[in-house]
Structures are given as C-alpha cells and as structure tokens.
Homo-oligomer: A and B are copies of this chain.
C-alpha cells in the first residue's frame, strides 16, 4: 500500500468505521468488495496518514448525571491574557471541547455539568477572563 492517495473505497471504509468502529474487516470488506485483510491494510494506511487518529466511544453523558449541555462563546477582555484563559480551559473538567475562533467571539467552548448551579459556578469563573454568550442544548437534533 505505497500509494498514499485516499480513494472512494477508503472513504467508504472511513464512514463505515465512524458509524461503528467494531465492524470486522471482513464485514466492511463485503460492502466494498475486498477481503478483510485488504480492508485492514487500508485502515492502517488511514491511520498512518493521520486521517484516523484513534478509537473512542459514542456515549451518553446524561446517563452519568451530566444533564447540562451548553455552548459558550467567550469574548476575552481587552488586555486580558489569553494564556491564563487557556490554562483555565485545560484544567476545567466541565469544558469538554474548546476552539480559538474568528468571527463571533474569541473562543468557543462546549460545557457539560451535572446541574445549573455547577454551570453558574463555571460562568462566574469565565467572567474573570471575558464576557460570554450562552446557549443551552435542549435537544440533540443531529
């Protein structure tokens, strides 16, 4: 597998694994008309290329008590250190995902907390670094 280009079959394998990473290579192979070993070789290629970074779970945080799911757009105060905010983000467990963004705001955060009082506590901490706009997920549509 020296040709490192990604073809249509690779993408079909990728999407199959995104849907269910426990599919056997043989099962995937039946869909793309390849032997299981050929599929395995292509998966290894996708890993080497960095397309596939690892394997993880699809899970339901609500089931372990994380009932609040919120999105936060943060506007860091002028003159405020971005590094301090970044450290805060890294150290705070409730921040599940964080991006530096352009457009609306400076940072975008995905927050999960057990309840609204925890969320409120976090929002107060965020106010040390900047203002924010908050949206709370009511329903996962997609």
What is A's interface to B at a CB cutoff of 8 Å? 6, 11, 14, 17-22, 49-60, 63-64, 69-71, 73, 86, 89-90, 95-105, 107-108, 133-142
Contact = CB atoms under 8 A, between A and B. Distances in A.
Main secondary structure of the interface of A (DSSP, over half): strand
Which 6 pairs across A and B sit closest by C-beta, in order of nearness? A98-B142, A21-B55, A101-B135, A100-B139, A98-B141, A99-B137
B71 A60 contact: no
Contacts of A14: 57, 59, 64
A82 to B, nearest CB: 10
A5 to B, nearest CB: 11
Contact of A56 (B58, B96, B100): B58
